[in-house]
Amino acid sequence: MTPEVRVWPTPQALLANLGAIDEVQGCIVHGMAHAWLARPGAFRPGTALLTATIGGETVAAAVQASAGKVVFSLGPTEAILALADWWERTGRRPSAAAVPETARAALLRRWPGFPTFENTLYGLRAPPRLPDTPGLLRQARNEEKDWLIEWTTAFGSEARLPGAPKPRVVVESKLAAGHLFVWDDGVPRAIAALAGPTPRSVRINNVYTPDVFRRHGYGSAAVAALAAKEIEAGRKLVQLFADRSLGHTNHMYRNIGFEPVADFVDLELNPA
């Protein structure tokens, strides 16, 4: 059965029609839609918000994350390709895409390009295991902005995240939202942040420990404490993405209690 693609005019309409595409199937899609609801001025009318249905059931979704990037949910490859075809037919082929690993080969045949970042989505539904690490998690402070920008810049350089916002923008926005945290044992040792909050879920990102403080468990402690805080506050799901090439990082998240959900890949696409 050929997937049917529908376009929605607002984040509210998209959320109302996601069906079975929940925060697990569509982590970034839900996070972006709720971010637009929280800051209506940030949503630009005409931003593409799409779903694909098969037999009347929503099986995949995609959103225009920026002028050049499209983010896809999990879903059958034929539905992912149907969503991609909409961008092709409307003359809006993106310059980058984040897509489930299962659809990578098929999408690259449709949109030639190359992978820039491979990652695994992890999820946590129960209180995490808390490492026995000296210190505590606290909220970052505005007066710490300068070194927070330095650490976030270093994080971006090491993580090689494609299309990442400028570190100053990241830090200032997360400080304003109360979404940036520090592991502190008398000295700041590591940072972690929240992203894409919805009524049921949230992501952890920007996890960074300077090299001089590594191998003491500070990053692991920050992630575990922040996840525990969100679960205690009523979140049903805490998620994060991990670079697949960093075995120690993936091992750390599994030790805390996170379970792999699915693999994704960021693609840089050739011009049409």
Instruction: Identify the pLDDT of residue 162.
Output: 64
Per the CB < 8 A criterion, the answer to whether 193 and 205 are in contact is yes
Q: 4-111 and 123-261 share one CATH topology? A: yes
Domain spans of the chain, in order of start = 4-111, 123-261
The pLDDT, as a whole number, for residue 163 is 63
Average pLDDT, the chain: 95
Report which secondary-structure segment, H or E, holds 147.
helix 145-159
Cβ-contact 73, 60 below 8 angstroms: yes
pLDDT digits (tens, 9 = 90+) for 162-179: 666 789 999 999 999 999
Instruction: Give the residue-averaged pLDDT of 126-132.
Output: 96
| Per-residue DSSP letter, 18 | -
164 closest CA partner among 241, 91, 259: 241
Does residue 83 have a pLDDT over 70? yes
Q: Strand, coil or helix: what is 143?
A: helix
- Residue 6's Cα: distance from chain center in Å? 24
Q: pTM for this structure?
A: 0.94
- Which CATH fold topology does 4-111 show? Aminopeptidase (3.40.630)
The pLDDT > 90 percentage for the chain reads: 91
Q: How far is CA 53 from CA 4, 76, 145, 250, 259, in A?
A: 5, 10, 45, 33, 28
Confidence at residue 40, expressed as pLDDT on a 0 to 100 scale: 83
Instruction: Write down the architecture of domain 123-261 according to CATH.
Output: 3-Layer(aba) Sandwich (3.40)
Q: What is the pLDDT of residues 177-215, one digit of tens each?
A: 999 999 999 999 999 999 999 999 999 999 999 999 999
